[in-house]
């Protein structure tokens, strides 16, 4: 089993020599997506494996629940690419089949059952949509720079809905995991808050509402942010970015990468792509790539 420290020493992200700083010189921005920040917040070692170590440690096999989530997301993206008069439930089987991701399933039988389940979710979900409504963005990249971050991310959907003072934007995130979601999940999601913050600046329109659309249960968990709550989430994201940059600098200055990017053991280790590389993960029983599909509770796929 390969030890964590043998996976290659982290280097500065750019691969370029670090520039010497001088007083008053602006700090370089930390380029990030929600997944990058989330990886470090969950486990700094996982962040290191995913974003720093080169050559990158091998990942485990693809997960069936990720395949299922990706297939449903792409089908919904392609739904909106159809002309409004063709957005009918009969279009769904072809949309889903056309971009179905087959990886990770135990066998054909499980995969077929997952396809039928996904089709049922999509049929239930599109019945709640007005086919004539065109979102402002579908899988739309939004980006913003702050004093610390150069943030970019791809929102599943950005709606424009009437508000008291004109159109307001709403961030919509599709979820396909087996676990239900509630308003606390929407309120606490740093990713959704960062999308809202970035969308407001990208489109120069208010964007305070964020929603998790959970297809398996047909429920919507929403939260209306205030300027202050968005600022708090942004500030937390900037703190995480500062921590990451400090850890990277310490390694550049000679610190032990294993200490700069410690492991955080937990239930997620069984689902970690780097379980075979990580010394903690290696002690954790792994999950089968398909086990989340049949379990009553499973990781929430994007
Ligand atoms: S197995 Fe666990 S401790 Fe190791 S990198 Fe993955 S999440 Fe972190």
What are the tens digits of pLDDT across the range 230-257? 999 999 999 999 999 999 999 999 999 9
CATH number at residue 219: 3.90.320.10
d(CA 93, CA 112): 13
d(CA 121, CA 98): 17
Verify that 101 and 116 share a domain, yes or no: yes
Confirm if 274 and 50 have CB atoms less than 8 A apart. Answer: yes
CA 71 to chain centre: 15
**Quick one: pLDDT at residue 11?**
47
pLDDT at 300 over 80: no
Verify that 162 and 226 share a domain, yes or no: yes
- Mean per-residue pLDDT, 180-196: 95
- Mean per-residue pLDDT, 218-224: 97
- Mean per-residue pLDDT, 198-209: 97
Sorting pLDDT into bands at 50, 70 and 90, what band is 297?
very low
Verify that 217 and 273 share a domain, yes or no: no
What are the tens digits of pLDDT across the range 97-130? 999 999 999 999 999 999 999 999 999 999 999 9
**Quick one: pLDDT at residue 23?**
61
Total structural domains in the chain? 3
Axis-axis angle for helices 190-203, 227-252 (nearest 10):
110
Verify that 216 and 182 share a domain, yes or no: yes
Cα–ligand 1 centroid distance for 175 (angstroms): 24
Is 44 inside any structural domain? yes
Sorting pLDDT into bands at 50, 70 and 90, what band is 39?
very high
Verify that 196 and 227 share a domain, yes or no: yes
Of ligand 1's listed atoms, the one at least distance from the Cα of 264 is 3
Of the candidates 194, 183, 137, the one whose C-alpha atom is nearest the C-alpha of residue 160 is: 137
281, 282, 285, 286 alpha-carbon torsion, rounded to 10°: 70
Sorting pLDDT into bands at 50, 70 and 90, what band is 178?
confident
Domain closes at, from 216, 235, 254: 235
Verify that 113 and 147 share a domain, yes or no: no
Domain closes at, from 193, 213, 235: 235
Verify that 188 and 225 share a domain, yes or no: yes
Tokens describing residue 271? 């689902």
Is 302 inside any structural domain? no
CB-based burial of residue 121 (10 Å sphere; 0-12 exposed, 13-18 middle, 19+ buried)?
Answer: buried
User: Which of 3, 58, 265 for a ligand 1 pocket mutation test, highest count of atoms within 8 Å of Cβ?
Assistant: 265
- Mean per-residue pLDDT, 179-204: 95
The b/e string for 72-106 (b: 16+ C-beta within 10 A; e otherwise) is bbbbbbbbbeeeeeebeeebbeebbeeebbeebbe
Verify that 199 and 166 share a domain, yes or no: yes
- Mean per-residue pLDDT, 21-44: 86
Is 299 inside any structural domain? no
d(CA 17, CA 35): 26
Is 171 inside any structural domain? yes
Cα–ligand 1 centroid distance for 145 (angstroms): 30
Domain closes at, from 198, 213, 235: 235
CB 48 near ligand 1, within 6 Å: no
Verify that 227 and 251 share a domain, yes or no: no
Is 131 inside any structural domain? no
Sorting pLDDT into bands at 50, 70 and 90, what band is 180?
confident
Q: Taking the model in full, what pTM does it have? A: 0.89
Domain membership of residue 216 as a residue range = 137-235
């Amino acid at each position: 089993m390969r030890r964590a420290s043998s996976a290659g020493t982290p280097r500065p992200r750019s691969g370029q020599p670090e520039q010497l700083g001088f007083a008053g010189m602006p700090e370089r921005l930390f380029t990030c997506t929600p997944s990058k920040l989330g990886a470090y917040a969950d486990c700094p070692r996982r962040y290191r494996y995913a974003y720093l170590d080169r050559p990158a440690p091998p990942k485990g096999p693809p997960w069936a629940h990720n395949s299922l989530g990706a297939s449903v997301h792409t089908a919904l993206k392609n739904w909106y690419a159809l002309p409004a008069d063709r957005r009918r439930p009969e279009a769904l089987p072809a949309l889903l089949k056309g971009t179905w991701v087959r990886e990770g399933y135990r066998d054909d039988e499980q995969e077929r059952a997952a396809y039928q389940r996904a089709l049922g979710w999509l049929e239930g979900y599109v019945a709640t949509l007005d086919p004539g409504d065109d979102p402002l963005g579908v899988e739309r990249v939004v980006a913003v720079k702050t004093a610390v971050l150069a943030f970019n991310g791809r929102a599943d959907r950005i709606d424009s809905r009437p508000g008291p003072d004109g159109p307001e934007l709403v961030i919509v995130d599709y979820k396909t995991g087996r676990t239900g979601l509630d308003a606390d999940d929407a309120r606490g999601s740093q990713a959704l808050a960062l999308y809202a913050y970035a969308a407001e600046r990208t489109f120069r329109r208010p964007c305070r509402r964020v929603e998790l659309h959970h297809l398996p249960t047909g429920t919507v968990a929403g939260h209306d942010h205030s300027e202050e709550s968005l600022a708090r989430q942004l500030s937390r994201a900037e703190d995480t970015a500062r921590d990451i940059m400090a850890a990277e600098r310490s390694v550049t200055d000679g610190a032990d990468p294993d200490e700069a990017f410690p492991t955080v053991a937990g239930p997620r280790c069984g689902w970690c792509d780097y379980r075979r590389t990580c010394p903690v993960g290696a002690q954790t029983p792994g999950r089968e790539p398909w086990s989340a599909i049949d379990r009553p509770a499973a990781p929430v796929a994007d």
